[in-house]
């Protein structure tokens, strides 16, 4: 299943999410063509339960699709729409057509990514959520920043729907996409280091560059492992996500993103910030992704409180009990 999903996702994104297409969407162009392909692919219903008309995959099975989206810097809320459809379909609610963003509560408003393109926003509200039409929102420019916009809706807008912990769900989507982006950054950085000549030889032959790439490689593979462990469906959240796993993974992936982005730009040199090089698309998403759905400080503090409340007394015992891989099925 994994290999089939990977091939399908890679083929779709390589055809319809080229660097030029991504830049055009980020600049305000229509995402209709790419979104139409995603609709036709069936990926958007991957996490929706079978009894609700979906495919019924778990997070671990859907993970390769989001990693592939991260590798191509897809500027659309693929993972968030998958999660939102799982929430709505699982609750027996009507699922609207179009892209659905998971908004982060900002007082009575929603905080969304700066380049977000969506038709709907699912915003946490008390123990439920509001499904809000993006077209009815008014941007609060004074409250925004380069990393995100703040949207407000008129009183009475939207539909109240049952929802689980959308912060945890959104963090999982970011973990997966960031892991994919870092894989692509590593590949592009190694390729550039092998091609770039300095003092008559490739910069990849210099020991200092090799050491930097080694550090990057360690972070990239640790991030993929964190994404895989975060996708073990042994919790009671949206798509059975486990908040302890999500906390540890978001923390680890966020820390890795800082080093991977810095090393990628260092090895690329001045080329890394130019428009024609894709590196800045990927590292820009890493920086925004770190802040979305809780940064390292938030999840580090959350995880610390959970450990203290667990009363195990030993860190290793806590890690083994809460963060290990899925238990193997008992043989007959």
Predicted confidence at residue 331, as pLDDT, reads 42
Give the CATH number, domain containing residue 214: 1.20.140.10
The verdict on 233 and 114 lying in the same domain is no
Report the helix count and the strand count for the chain, using DSSP H and E: 11, 10
Phi-psi region of 106 (alpha: psi -120 to 50; beta: other; left: phi over 0): beta
Q: Which residues contact 20 (CB under 8 A, 6 or more apart)?
A: none
The verdict on 125 and 198 lying in the same domain is no
The verdict on 153 and 249 lying in the same domain is no
The verdict on 132 and 31 lying in the same domain is yes
Sequence length of the chain is 332
Which of 128, 145, 162 corresponds to the end of one domain?
162
Longest CA span, the chain: 67
Predicted confidence at residue 200, as pLDDT, reads 85
Tokens at residue 291, please? 């802040």
Which of 162, 182, 205 corresponds to the end of one domain?
162
The parts of the chain modelled with pLDDT lower than 70 are 1-2, 327-332
The verdict on 309 and 182 lying in the same domain is yes
Would you call 215 exposed, middle or buried from its count of C-beta atoms within 10 A (0-12, 13-18, 19+)? middle
The verdict on 75 and 222 lying in the same domain is no
Question: Quick check: is 331 in a domain?
Answer: no
The verdict on 14 and 113 lying in the same domain is yes
Residue 258: other Cβ atoms inside 10 A: 14
Domain extent, residue 65, equals 2-162
Give the CATH number, domain containing residue 96: 1.10.540.10
Predicted confidence at residue 1, as pLDDT, reads 45
Question: Please, are residues 234 and 326 in contact by the beta-carbon 8 Å criterion?
Answer: yes
Query: Where do we find the tokens 């032959």?
Result: 205
Residue 320: other Cβ atoms inside 10 A: 11
The verdict on 125 and 232 lying in the same domain is no
- What is the distance between the alpha carbons of residues 247 and 300, in angstroms, rounded to a whole number? 7
Which of 108, 132, 162 corresponds to the end of one domain?
162
The verdict on 174 and 154 lying in the same domain is no
The verdict on 50 and 121 lying in the same domain is yes
- What is the distance between the alpha carbons of residues 259 and 203, in angstroms, rounded to a whole number? 19
Q: Which residues contact 216 (CB under 8 A, 6 or more apart)?
A: 185, 186, 189, 259, 260, 263, 264
């Amino acid at each position: 299943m994994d290999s089939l999903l990977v091939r399908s996702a890679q083929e779709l994104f390589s055809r319809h999410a080229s660097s030029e297409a991504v830049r055009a969407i980020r600049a305000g162009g229509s995402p209709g063509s790419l979104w139409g392909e995603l609709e036709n692919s069936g990926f958007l219903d991957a996490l929706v339960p079978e009894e609700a008309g979906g495919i019924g995959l778990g997070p671990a099975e859907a993970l390769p699709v989001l990693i592939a989206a991260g590798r191509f810097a897809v500027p659309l809320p693929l993972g968030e729409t998958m999660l939102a459809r799982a929430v709505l379909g699982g609750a027996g609610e009507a699922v609207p057509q179009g892209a659905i963003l998971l908004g982060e509560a900002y007082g009575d408003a929603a905080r969304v990514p700066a380049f977000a393109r969506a038709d709907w926003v699912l915003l946490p509200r008390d123990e439920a959520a509001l499904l809000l039409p993006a077209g009815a929102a008014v941007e609060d420019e004074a409250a925004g920043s380069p990393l995100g916009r703040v949207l407000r809706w008129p009183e009475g807008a939207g539909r109240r729907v049952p929802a689980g912990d959308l912060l945890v769900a959104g963090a999982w989507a970011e973990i997966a996409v960031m892991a994919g982006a870092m894989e692509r950054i590593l590949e592009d950085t190694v390729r550039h280091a092998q091609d770039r000549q300095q003092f008559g030889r490739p910069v990849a032959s210099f020991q200092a560059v090799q050491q930097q790439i080694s550090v990057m490689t360690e972070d990239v593979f640790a991030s993929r492992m964190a994404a895989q462990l975060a996708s073990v469906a042994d919790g009671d959240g949206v798509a059975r996500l486990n908040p302890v796993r999500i906390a540890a993974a978001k923390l680890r992936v966020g820390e890795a993103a800082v080093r991977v982005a810095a090393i990628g730009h260092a090895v690329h040199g001045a080329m890394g910030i130019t428009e024609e090089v894709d590196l800045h698309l990927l590292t820009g998403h890493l920086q925004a992704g770190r802040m979305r759905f809780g940064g390292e400080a938030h999840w580090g503090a959350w995880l610390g409180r959970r450990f203290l409340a667990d009363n195990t007394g030993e860190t290793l015992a806590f890690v083994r009990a809460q963060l290990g891989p899925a238990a193997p099925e008992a043989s007959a």
